[in-house]
Amino acid sequence: MSQKISIIVIMKLVVSIIYLLSASLAGATPPMPKTKPSSSTVLTSSQKVFKTASTHFDRVVYIVFENQQYKEVVLNSTFKELMKKGTSFTQFFVETHPSQPNYIAMIAGDTLGVQTDSNVSLDGKHLGDLLEDKGMNWSVYAEDYPGHCFLEESRGYYARKHVPFLSFKNVEQNKARCSNVKNLLEFDKDWKAHQLPTFSMIIPNNFNNGHDTDIKTTANWINQYLKRYIDDQNFLKQNKKNWVNLY
């Protein structure tokens, strides 16, 4: 059976996607997503993602950007080009404000009571636990991450609040699991070696994700960094992989 690879790019994704993602990875039927009024969020994907509930993806790469105004995103030429390849889900919204609770919800299905961007250490279950229970693996590739289970709030443009796995005690206190959080430079190595885990989360830094800049900066990062993987048809052909894009 040919393998499939999914590339997921989001603008502050809502909590419900975690159910759809975990169900897809496990080959189960995903529940219907919930929505909540909030600021604009852009989400697009190939219709193949949720066309059948039993669709199973061998590899998922999940890329998170920071919120921008919907009208600015859809008018940006880079995002317009990408969105033509997929579907825009305009009724998916963030859970709350500020950032960190949304990131927690992405991998835990709930904000777990987190209301601020301050460092937290949580006992709840997360996507990493679900994947490992099914014999699957995961990694986070965070731009400018110092490595060695760095748990401080920030360094330069790197921000721990955008790396939700580091907010769970069973990752913080487990050297092997904490090593699943890597610097973004490791993604290219794993990609070329065909060693991507079942689930990867790419976290651009606060300059390239749009947090401290704008949509043009994010689009530039996509063109300079991400598109090399999206357009790597030779890799996809050799490995019989299909792309699914979610923005």
Residue 166 has pLDDT above 90, yes or no: yes
Q: Where are the beta strands (DSSP E) in 25-67?
A: 44-45, 59-65
CB atoms within 10 A of CB 192: 10
Question: Of 116, 159, 118, 165, which Cα lies nearest the Cα of 18?
Answer: 165
Give the other-Cβ count within 10 Å of 224's Cβ: 10
Flag the least confident range among 77-86, 99-108, 181-190: 77-86
Strongest mean pLDDT among 27-31, 94-98, 215-219: 215-219
* pLDDT number for residue 158: 98
106 or 153: which carries more pLDDT confidence?
153
Mean pLDDT of 76-105: 85
Note the pLDDT of residue 62.
85
Q: Is the per-residue pLDDT at 76 higher than 70?
A: yes
Q: What is the pLDDT of residue 69?
A: 80
Q: Which range among 37-41, 90-94, 176-180, 206-210 shows the weakest confidence by mean pLDDT? A: 37-41
- Is the model more confident about 233 or about 142? 142
pLDDT of residue 4: 56
pLDDT (average), residues 222-229: 91
As a whole number of angstroms, the distance between CA 159 and CA 207 comes to: 11
Q: How do the residues of the chain divide into helix, strand and coil, expressed in percent and rounded to 5?
A: 35, 15, 50
State pLDDT tens for residues 11-29: 443 333 333 444 444 444 3
**Domain span including residue 79:** 5-246
Decide which of 109 and 90 is more confident: 109
The average confidence (pLDDT) of the chain is 78
Q: How many domains does the chain have?
A: 1
Q: Is the pLDDT of residue 123 over 90?
A: yes
Q: Indicate the pLDDT class of residue 223, thresholds 50, 70 and 90.
A: very high
Structure-model confidence comparison of residues 120 and 194, the more confident one: 120
Integer Cα distance of 81 and 64 in angstroms: 18
Is 81's pLDDT higher than 80? Answer: yes
Alpha carbons 125 and 109: distance in angstroms, whole number: 9
Contact between 150 and 180 under an 8 Å Cβ cutoff? The reply is no
